[in-house]
Structure 1
């Protein structure tokens, strides 16, 4: 994997980050968090610039999730069920994400990036359920920026130990999601109380 990422970044530079994340978010079997932490490691080594890397990753992720959303609107559920398995979006992932989407609504677009196998489906479901673009963009884009910042920074901080990020991603992913959900809920309560006091 490291050699493939080296090739990608050596030959395509920042544009390689964009390509990898567009493909990964749409549903290609690319390990997005590993790509981001490896980019962070390259920043640590001085091979890439932090700001340009984050901007490139944001462009890639937001483009990918917007394409997924538009596909959901235009082609609907039959497209996802027919072509999803070809890009590793299985019926089980769709059902699991649908249950979460029904429970959390648009908040899932925000936290879905941190749940492996869910971020690839949330935007399709948002499009299929005809969620308005403004609401979609608010949650999906904010979540994407936080996700990118988290994993690029993690790779940069870990430095030579960037591969350890894999251990933080999967075992602790649930904990991270819970922390994000709690944070979002607290912000929501704060805004609600502030509106009532006005």
Structure 2
């Protein structure tokens, strides 16, 4: 049993709430594995399905809201100050803002299902000045789908819940490969135009 699993066994709903907040803000916790593990405990009768889903949604909403506020607070001045060291130019910041305003809803709802993406979408929304109400609607809908999906999946899988770890390990590698290929394609197109 991992430390994270024993933490959930020991602290239950409160532990799950805290880990989800920290995980979404950016701590390296395997959130899908955690939620599936909680679903497994639901299947054993150790936790209530409705309460587990409610607490998971609450933790996810809290974590993503904190990330949004940090994005607003640190914002563009932070990026302008440290951006040149990371080779981030003001032109790129404008591009991110414009694209987030176009596709932000998709990023916020479906980004939860892509490890790494869910951790940055709220920061980008915050520093892009994406309207808080729109952010909340889409990010909170995403939280509901994401948390419910993995807890229900863990409940259905029962003692086979650990297969989700292997699946997500492979799926996230494939997803990152697709994303990197897409970014490379965009960069090469820009270079070819210039």
Matches within 5 A, 1:114-125: 114-125=113-124
**Which protein has the larger Cα radius of gyration, Structure 1 or Structure 2?**
2
**How big is the shift at 1:57?**
0.6
Q: Match of 2:34, SS? A: helix
Name the residue aligned to 1:8.
7
Structure-1 separation of matches of 2:152 and 2:77: 38
**How big is the shift at 1:61?**
0.6
Q: When the two structures are superposed, what TM-score results if normalisation uses the length of structure 2? A: 0.75
Q: Match of 2:27, SS? A: coil
Q: 1:168 to 1:145 in 2, by over 3 A?
A: same
Matches within 5 A, 1:48-197: 48-77=47-76, 79=78, 98=96, 101=100, 104-172=103-171
Q: How many residues align?
A: 164
Q: Which runs of 5+ in 2 are unaligned?
A: 176-194
**How big is the shift at 1:45?**
1.0
Q: 1:66 to 1:104 in 2, by over 3 A?
A: same
Q: Which moved more, 1:161-170 or 1:110-119?
A: 161-170
Q: 1:5 to 1:136 in 2, by over 3 A?
A: same
Structure-2 separation of matches of 1:148 and 1:161: 19
- The 8 Å contact of residues 5 and 37 in structure 2, kept in 1 or not, is answered as no
Q: Which runs of 5+ in 1 are unaligned?
A: 84-89, 176-198
